[in-house]
Amino acid sequence: MREIYVFENVEGGRLTPVAKCGAVDPLLKQAAETENFEWMEPFLAAGDTELVYTNVFRQPQNPGGIVVVSAMDDILFCVIANTNLDLVAAASHLASMVSNIRYGQDIFENIENDE
């Protein structure tokens, strides 16, 4: 089973495995489990599709959405956000994370000595 977490904007951002979380929007949980994001509105994309990237989708009629973190074309994990505030905070945190990974890869690729 894919890794699915619920994001809460407390204590700097908390990720809880969906299995240990009480209240989760059933539509978001089903979308994450089945990789069906077509009914959702694209909100943000960040990162490098040849390394690691994130796509953010929001619910069209309700608050909240899903952040999907992928490497190449494989989904690594999904993060469910039950509110719009949680969605924006999770998107910000995870977009920053994938950008830092790309930055680190650039540094590694540009090392001129063999050490």
What does the pLDDT look like over 3-56, one tens digit per residue? 999 998 888 788 999 989 888 999 999 999 999 999 999 999 988 888 889 999
* Residue 86 maps to a domain: yes
Q: Residue 7: name the closest of 72, 93, 113 by CA.
A: 93
* Residue 57 maps to a domain: yes
* Residue 32 maps to a domain: yes
Structural contact between residues 80 and 32, judged by C-beta atoms closer than 8 angstroms: yes
| Alpha carbon distance 107, 6 (integer Å) | 32
pTM for this prediction? 0.85
What does the pLDDT look like over 43-97, one tens digit per residue? 999 888 888 899 999 999 999 999 999 988 899 999 999 999 999 999 998 988 8
* Residue 73 maps to a domain: yes
**Residue 10, domain extent:** 3-109
* Residue 114 maps to a domain: no
The total of structural domains in the chain comes to: 1
